[in-house]
Amino acid sequence: MHAEQPVRTGRAKRLPRAVRERQIMDAAVDVFSRLGFHAASMDEISDVAGISKPMLYAYLGSKEELFATCIRREATRMMEAIAGGVEAEAPPDVQLWSGLRAFFGFVGENRASWQVLHRQASSQGGPFAEELADMRGRAISLVAALLVHSADFGNVPRAGDKEAESLAAALVGAGESLADWWLDNPEEPAGVVAARLMNLVWMGFGDLVAGDVWHPPSRRPESVADGAPVS
Amino acid sequence: MHAEQPVRTGRAKRLPRAVRERQIMDAAVDVFSRLGFHAASMDEISDVAGISKPMLYAYLGSKEELFATCIRREATRMMEAIAGGVEAEAPPDVQLWSGLRAFFGFVGENRASWQVLHRQASSQGGPFAEELADMRGRAISLVAALLVHSADFGNVPRAGDKEAESLAAALVGAGESLADWWLDNPEEPAGVVAARLMNLVWMGFGDLVAGDVWHPPSRRPESVADGAPVS
Amino acid sequence: MHAEQPVRTGRAKRLPRAVRERQIMDAAVDVFSRLGFHAASMDEISDVAGISKPMLYAYLGSKEELFATCIRREATRMMEAIAGGVEAEAPPDVQLWSGLRAFFGFVGENRASWQVLHRQASSQGGPFAEELADMRGRAISLVAALLVHSADFGNVPRAGDKEAESLAAALVGAGESLADWWLDNPEEPAGVVAARLMNLVWMGFGDLVAGDVWHPPSRRPESVADGAPVS
Amino acid sequence: MHAEQPVRTGRAKRLPRAVRERQIMDAAVDVFSRLGFHAASMDEISDVAGISKPMLYAYLGSKEELFATCIRREATRMMEAIAGGVEAEAPPDVQLWSGLRAFFGFVGENRASWQVLHRQASSQGGPFAEELADMRGRAISLVAALLVHSADFGNVPRAGDKEAESLAAALVGAGESLADWWLDNPEEPAGVVAARLMNLVWMGFGDLVAGDVWHPPSRRPESVADGAPVS
DNA sequence: CATGAATGAGCATTCATTCAT
DNA sequence: GATGAATGAATGCTCATTCAT
C-alpha cells in the first residue's frame, strides 16, 4: 500500500513536482481513510507526507481540493482496474464476471483507497458527495447497460431503463457490502465470494428476464406502495 | 418529517422534560443527517431545536452522547418498524418479502433517520461505528438465518454458515443501495422497487440452492483467487 | 464541622429565614474551602445546602456576595473565639499566650473555616482580598499594640510603631504557617506547638527590647538595603 | 519588571522560539499574579504577551501546563537567588541571615513572581498545590537543618527533628508575612526589615536552645492541648 | 524552493443568573 | 415561598490557512 514516513526531520529533498504530488496524495489517502475527512488534519497529512504545510497548500490547494483530488484519483484507479479486467467484446455475463473479479481484486489490494471511496466520501456534504455520487452513478449505468444488453440478447421485450438501473444499483450495493464483509472475513478467497454474488445475481436476473418471478402468496406486492408515500 | 425553526428569538416556552428531549433529538437527527457528525455544530442543533445550548447539554449530554443517542433511537425505530411488519410464523420467503417492504416503507417515511444511519454512522471512528456495525451485523445474521432456514426446507445439503452470511451481507447491501437509488428516483412506487429486489434475490437464491449455477465459459471462477491475496 | 446533605430530593421544608441562611452558609463554607472560590459552583453549593438555586440567590445574593458573607462570618467567628480566650486586664505576655492558644484551638476545630480564610480569600482579586486584608491588618495591629504596650512596661525607649507592626506581621505569619504545619503534623498537641512559638517570639522580643541583638560577623546588615530598591 | 502591551494589533514579528517562550511566560506570570489561576484567561495572557492564542498553545501547552511551568520557573529563580546569596561554609547564623537578605531582595525585585508563588499557587487544588507545597516543604527542611546544625554547635541536647521543623515552618511563615507587609510599607529598607526578623528569631532561638524559656504565670502551657482535639 | 512562525475563526462546554409556574 | 427550566456570556482549545525569512 502507500508508503509513510511517520516523523520528518530536516529539509525535504527537492523532487520533481509529479513525484512530490504523488507522495502527498498517498499520505492524504492514508490519513483520510484512517480518520475521515474532518478528523484528518492538514498537520498530520503534511507530517505523514514528509513535507511542510505550506508545500501541501502549494501543491494541492485547500483541504477540500486535496480530498476531492484524492477521491478522483482513487476512483479513477479503481475504474481503470475494473475496466482493465473486462474485455469489451465478451458476452455480458463474462463482462460482468470479469468486472466483479477485478473489483474484488482491487479492494483486496487497496484497502485504504476503498475505505476512502466507500466510507468517507459518501458521508460528507459539500461537493464530494456529488462527485462521488456521479462516479457511482456512472458505474451503475455501465452495469445497467450490461443488463439491458444481455436482456436484448434473450429476445425478450426490452426491460425499461429504470428497471435495469435499479437492478444495477442493487447489484453495485451488493458488491460493496460483500466487499466489506469479505474484508472482515478474509478466510474465503476473493474468487469464491465473487462467484457467489455472480451466481446469485445472474441466475436471478435470468429468471427475471424469463418472466419466472416470485409471487407473494396472497397479496400483490404492489400493495405496499400505498403505505410509502414519498414526501 | 421533523420540523425546523431556522432562527430562534426570545425565551423558549417551558416544556416538560420528555417533550423537549424528543424535540431536541428530532433536530439533532435532522442536522446530523444533513451535515454529518463532525460538520454538525451544537450551535446549529440548538438553533434548529429552538433552544439554547445549555439546554442541549443539560438534556442530552455531550455531542458524542447526543449522536449515540440519536443513532440508537433511529436504529431501534427502524428495527422495530421492520420487525413489526414481519410475521414470525410465516415461511421464509414471506418473511423476507415483508421485511423488505417494511424497510422500504421506513426509509421512505424517515429519510433523515435513514441518512444518519446509513451515511454518517459508519464513517466515524470512535464508538459509533462499532455500535452501528453491530446492529448491521445483527441484521445480516437475521437474514442469514432466514436463508439457512429456507434452504433447509428444500432438502438440500445445508449451506455453510459463511456462505449464507455472505449472501445476506450482499442482500442487505443491495437493499441499502436500492433504497438510496429509490430516494433519487421516487417516481416508482416503493412496492415495485422492493418486489424487483425480492425477485432477483429469491429466484437467484433458489437456483443457487438447487445447484443451478452460472459457469464462466472457459476458466474456473476460482482462478481469480490467486490475484487477490489478503494482506 | 458543618453538616452536608449530598443529594436533595423533593421540596425543601419551609424554615425560618435565619436557619436557612445558616444552613446555606455552612454549605458554602464547606464547598469554598474544598474547591476555592472559582472552582466552586453555585450548583454544587445549592445541592450541598439542600435547596434550589433561586433560593440561594434570594437569600444570599450573588456568588461574590455569598463568598464575602462567608468570609466575614468565619473571620468574625475566629476573632471572637480568640477575643473570648483573652483577658483584657492580663499582662501582655499572658494576653499573647492566651490568644495563641485560642487561635490554635479554633483552627483545630474549624478546619474548613480556616482553609477559606487562609487559602482562598487571599488568592482572589476583587473585593475579597481587600476585606480579608483589612481583617488581617486589624489582627496585626492588635498584636502590635500588645508588643508596644509590653515594651513600655520595660522602661525602654518606645519602639517605633512601624517596628512593632512589622514584628506583629511576622508573628501573625508565623502563627498561620505553624497552624498549617500543625494540621499536617497533628501528632503534637496544639499546646506544645503554640508554646514553642510563644517562646521563640517572646524571648526574642525580650532580647530585642533589651537591646540584646544579633550582629553579622563582619558587615552591617543594612548593607543589603542598597540592592533592593522598591520599584 | 515584565513589559506589557495591553492591546495588540497586526501580526507579531517573527522571533526565535526561545525568546517568544520567555516573553509568553513573563506575560503569564504577570496575569496569573494579578488574577489568580482561574480568573486568568488564556485570551488575556495572549493579549499581554502580544501574540495570538494558538501560539500560546503551540509553545506552552494547556493552561495547566503553562501555570505549572510558570510556577516551576519562578520557584527555581527564587531558590537560586537565595542559594546564590548563601555561603555553604558559613556558620548557621550567617547562612540564615544571608538567606533572609536574598529572599527579601528577590521579593522586592520580583513582585509578580512572589505573588504567583505565595498567593496563587497554594490556593489551587490539582497538581500545583502539591508541587508548590513540596518546594515550600523543602525550604522548611533546609531551614530546619540549619537550626539543628546550629543547636548542635551549642553543646545542647539535640532538639527533636519535629521541633526544629515546626520552628522552621514558623520562621518561613514569618518571612513570607513580613515580606508582604514590607511590600505594603516600602518606606523601610529591606535590610532593616530583614534584620529585625533575624534578630527576633535568632535571639529567641538562642534562648530556647539555652533552656531560657517563657513560662505562663500560673498554668502550664500544655493545658491548652485538651481543648484542641485533632479531628 | 521550503519552512518555522503566526493567526482568524470557530467549536464544545460550563457557569452565574433569572423567568414562569 | 420554592422550583424546574431556561439563557447570555464566557473559556479552553483546535484547525485551516498564510506570511516572512
- For C200, the closest of D120, D187, D205 (CB atoms) is D205
Question: Cα–Cα distance between D40 and D24 in angstroms, integer?
Answer: 14
- Contact assessment for residue B140 and residue B169, using Cβ atoms and an 8 Å cutoff: yes
How close does chain D come to C61, measured CA to CA in Å?
20
Instruction: Decide if C194 and D224 are in contact by the 8 Å CB cutoff.
Output: yes
- Whole-angstrom Cα distance, residue C97 to residue C197? 9
- Class of the C17-61 domain? mainly alpha
**Cβ neighbour number for residue A153 with a 10 Å cutoff:** 12
Amino acid occupying residue C173: G
Residues 54-83/C with CB within 7 Å of nucleic chain F are 54-55, 58
pLDDT over 90 for what percent of chain C? Answer: 54
Check pLDDT > 50 for residue B221.
no
Higher pLDDT, C41 or C125: C41
Q: Strand E nucleotides below 7 A of a protein CB? A: 1-21
Quick one: pLDDT at residue C150?
81
Between the alpha carbon of residue B193 and those of residues A209, B117, B174, the distances in Å are 16, 21, 12
Examine the pLDDT at A3 and tell me if it is beyond 80. Answer: no
List strand F contacts in B 56-85 (CB < 7 A).
58
Cβ atoms C200, D156 nearer than 8 A = no
pLDDT in tens, chain D (231 residues): 444 444 566 788 888 888 999 999 999 999 999 998 999 999 999 999 999 999 999 999 999 999 999 999 999 999 999 999 999 899 989 999 999 999 999 999 999 999 888 887 676 666 677 778 888 899 999 999 998 888 765 544 454 688 899 999 999 999 999 999 999 999 989 999 999 999 999 998 888 888 888 887 665 444 444 444 443
Reported as half-sphere exposure (CB side, CA atoms, 13 A), residue A132 has a value of 21
> For residue B94, is pLDDT > 60?
yes
| Model pLDDT, residue C228 | 41
Distance CA C224, CA D149 (A): 25
Higher pLDDT, A185 or D9: A185
Average pLDDT, chain A: 84
Give mean pLDDT, residues B52-58. 96
- For the segment B192-201, the average pLDDT, to the nearest whole number, is 92
pLDDT by residue (tens digit) across D99-125?
A: 999 999 999 999 999 988 888 767 666
Contact, B192 CB vs strand F, < 7 Å:
no
- A155-167 as b/e, with b when 16 or more CB fall inside 10 Å? eeeebeebbbbbb
Whether pLDDT at C73 is above 80: yes
Name which of B166, B181, B216 is nearest A169 (Cβ-Cβ).
Answer: B181
**CATH assignment of C65-210?**
1.10.357.10
Q: Is residue C186 within 8 angstroms of chain D, CB to CB? A: yes
Average predicted confidence (pLDDT) for chain C = 84
Cβ neighbours of residue C89 under 8 Å, at least 6 residues apart?
A: none
| Distance between CA atoms of residues C217 and C229, nearest Å | 24
pLDDT at A214 over 90: no
Where does chain C show beta strands of DSSP type E? none
- Please tell me which residue, C34 or B2, carries the higher pLDDT value: C34
Which residue from B minimizes the CA distance to A96?
Answer: B216
Query: Between the CA of B35 and the C1' of F3, what is the distance in angstroms?
Result: 38
Q: In this structure, which topology does domain A68-211 adopt according to CATH?
A: Tetracycline Repressor; domain 2 (1.10.357)
Residue D199 near residue C229 (C-beta atoms within 8 A)? no
C-alpha triplet D127, D129, D134: angle, nearest 5°: 100
The C-alpha atoms of residue A139 and residue A120 are separated, in whole angstroms, by 18
The size of chain A, in residues, is 231
Pairwise CA distance, residues C54 & C47, whole Å: 12
- Whether the beta carbon of B220 falls within 7 A of nucleic chain F: the reply is no
Query: Per-residue pLDDT for B50 more than 50?
Result: yes
C21 band by pLDDT with thresholds 50, 70 and 90: very high
Q: Which nucleotide is nearest, taking the CA of residue B41 and each C1'?
A: E11
- pLDDT, position A9: 52
Measured between alpha carbons, how far is D205 from D163 in angstroms, rounded to an integer? 11
The residue lying closest to nucleotide F14, measuring its CA against C1', is D54
Cell matching residue A129: 458527495
pLDDT of residue B152: 63
Nearest nucleotide by C1' position to the D12 CA atom: E6
Any strand F atom closer than 7 Å to C51 CB: yes
B97: its cell numbers: 418479502
d(CA D71, CA D122): 11
Question: Over the stretch B120-160, which tens digit does the pLDDT of each residue have?
Answer: 767 766 677 777 888 889 999 999 999 888 876 554 555 56
Q: Name the residue ranges covered by the structural domains of chain B.
A: 17-61, 71-212
Q: Which fold has domain B71-212?
A: Tetracycline Repressor; domain 2 (1.10.357)
- pLDDT confidence band for C13 (50 / 70 / 90): low
Residue C59 dihedral angles phi and psi, to the nearest 5°: -85, -45
| Residue B96 near chain A (CB below 8 Å) | no
Residue A216 has pLDDT above 90, yes or no: no
Q: Chain F: nucleotides under 7 Å from a protein CB?
A: 1-21
Q: What's the pLDDT at C128? A: 75
Residue B153, judged by CB atoms within 10 A of its CB (0-12, 13-18, 19+), counts as exposed
Task: Identify the sign of the CA torsion C85, D199, C156, D210.
Answer: positive
pLDDT reported for residue A6: 47
* pLDDT at residue C16, rounded to an integer: 80
A122·B119 Cβ contact <8 A: yes
Query: Please, what's the largest Cα pairwise distance for chain C?
Result: 75
Neighbours of chain C (3+ CB pairs under 8 A): D
pLDDT score recorded for residue A215: 81
Give, in degrees to the nearest 5, the angle at Cα B134 between B130 and B138.
Answer: 170
Q: How many other CB atoms sit within 10 Å of the CB of residue C134?
A: 11
Chains A and B touch (3+ CB pairs under 8 A): yes
The distance of D109 to chain C (nearest Cα, Å) reads: 7
CB distance from A109 to chain B under 8 Å?
yes
Kindly determine whether residue C189 and residue D36, on different chains, have CB atoms separated by under 8 Å.
no
pLDDT score at D125: 63
Q: How far is the CA of C52 from the C1' of F5 (A)?
A: 12
D191:C228 CB<8 A? yes
Name the closest residue on chain C to residue D198, using Cα atoms: C214
- pLDDT-derived band of residue A231, with 50, 70 and 90 as boundaries? very low
Say yes or no to pLDDT of C163 above 80.
Answer: yes
Q: What cell does C174 get? A: 508565623
> Count of CB contacts below 8 A, A vs B?
248
User: Which helix H or strand E contains C11, and what residues bound it?
Assistant: none
| Cα A100 to the center of its chain, rounded Å | 11
Q: What is the pLDDT of residues C84-140, one digit of tens each?
A: 999 989 998 999 999 999 999 999 999 989 988 888 777 766 667 777 888 889 999
Higher pLDDT, A31 or B209: A31
Q: Are C200 and D201 in contact (CB under 8 A)?
A: yes
Q: Quick one: D70-212 is in which CATH superfamily?
A: Tetracycline Repressor, domain 2 (1.10.357.10)
Among A94, A177, A209, pick the best mutation site for testing chain B contact (most B Cβ within 10 A). Answer: A177
Looking at the complex, does the CB of residue C85 fall below 8 Å from at least one CB of chain D? Answer: no
Locus of grid cell 436504529? B75
Q: How confident is the model at residue A222 (pLDDT cuts 50, 70, 90)?
A: very low
Which residue in chain D has the smallest CA separation from C101? D224
pLDDT for position B8: 60
Q: Tell me, what's the pLDDT at C1?
A: 43
Q: Is the CB of B211 under 7 A from strand F?
A: no
pLDDT of amino acid B99: 95
Is A230–B171 a contact, with Cβ atoms under 8 angstroms apart? Answer: no
Cβ–Cβ contact D166 with C under 8 A: yes
Nearest CA to A195 out of B166, B137, D164 is that of B166
- List of chain C residues whose C-beta atoms are within 8 Å of the C-beta of residue D227: 101, 105, 190
What nucleotide is nearest A54 when CA is compared to C1'?
A: E3
Taking residues A59-81, report their average pLDDT: 93
- Could you tell me if A203 lies within 8 Å of chain B, comparing CB atoms? yes
**Sequence-distant (≥ 6) Cβ neighbours of residue A153 within 8 angstroms:** A91, A92
The answer to whether the C-beta of C20 is closer than 7 A to strand F is: yes
Q: Is the CB of B13 under 7 A from strand F?
A: yes
Residue–nucleotide distance: B44 CA to F11 C1' (Å): 20
B21 touches chain A (CB under 8 A): no
Q: How do residues A84-131 score in pLDDT, each as one tens digit?
A: 999 989 998 999 999 999 999 999 999 989 988 888 777 766 667 777
Inter-chain CB proximity B101 and A224 less than 8 Å: yes
Cα dihedral C27, C28, C34, C37, rounded to 10, equals: 170
Longest dimension (CA), chain D: 74
Which among A130, A106, A119 has a CA at the least distance from the CA of A40? Answer: A119
| Strand F close to D53 by CB, under 7 A | yes
User: Measured between CB atoms, which of B169, B182, B191 is closest to A222?
Assistant: B191
Record: contact D34-C122, CB cut-off 8 A? no
Q: Is the pLDDT of residue B229 over 50?
A: no
Q: Which residue is nearest to nucleotide E3 (CA to C1')?
A: A52
User: What pLDDT shows up at residue C172?
Assistant: 96
Quick one: average pLDDT of B205-218?
81
pLDDT digits (tens, 9 = 90+) for A13-22: 667 888 889 9
- pLDDT given for residue A15 in this prediction: 74
Cβ distance D194 to C119 less than 8 Å, yes or no, reads no
Q: What is the largest CA-CA distance in chain B?
A: 75
Instruction: Tell which wins on pLDDT, B12 or C172.
Output: C172
A-chain residues near B91 (CB < 8 A): 217
One DSSP character per residue, D93-135 reads HHHHHHHHHHHHHHHHH-HHHHHIIIIIHHH--HHHHHHHHHH
Q: Do D and C touch, counting CB pairs below 8 Å (3 needed)? A: yes
- Which position has the grid cell 537578605? D101
Q: Which residue of B has its CA nearest to A179?
A: B170
Name the residue among B101, B185, B200 with its Cβ closest to that of A205. B200
Share of chain A above pLDDT 70, in %: 82
**Burial degree of B186 (CB within 10 A; 0-12, 13-18, 19+):** middle
**More confident call, C32 vs C210:** C32
